[in-house]
Amino acid sequence: MNLKSIFSISILLAALSTSLAHAAGEHSGGHAGEPGKASDVSRTIEVTMFDNYYEPENFSIIPGETVRFIIKNKGELVHEFNIGTAEMHIKHQEEMIMMVEHGALEADRINQEAMKMDMGDGPMTHDDPNSILLEPSTQGEIIWKFKDKVALEIACNVPGHYDAGMVAMVKFN
């Protein structure tokens, strides 16, 4: 089975699991913190994304800390680094499924032309400050201020990846 076939199957499974989660009432957002300022960064954490896991697998954070994450995608697929609650990830997975359905997100690349397509609310975007979407062999960064001790996850919401276990836990000291 090739990557595109596996990706298509993953989309179907992700759509099913998202529907089941919403049926169970898990659709509210949560508080993950706020964009941080470079001048407030207390440390830098390097993160590598593979197919389908992160290194490191868990993150230890101090409440109030501002962290610079340098994120590298060393996998063969597009991956996301997204800071949020489980509920936030479930909600975001719907948007990611829509990106795939409209050709903006492919297994191994982001189709920038399709991202410009107007979906009724304007063009599709993936520009939230708590999240970065990376093609294979690319890197980026997020600066994030963690405010409260909230149950947070770092997750990839590309269809099928979260369900395959591409989730890392944030633990507060």
**How far is Cα 118 from Cα 98, in angstroms, rounded to an integer?**
12
**How far is Cα 125 from Cα 98, in angstroms, rounded to an integer?**
11
Residue 86 domain boundaries: 3-172
For residue 77, give the CATH number of its domain.
Answer: 2.60.40.420
Q: Both tokens of residue 130? A: 């708590």
Number of domains in the chain: 1
Q: What is the pLDDT of residues 86-142, one digit of tens each?
A: 999 999 998 899 889 889 999 999 998 888 776 666 666 678 899 999 999 999 999
Question: 74, 133 in Cβ contact below 8 A?
Answer: no
**pLDDT for residue 70 is more than 50:** yes
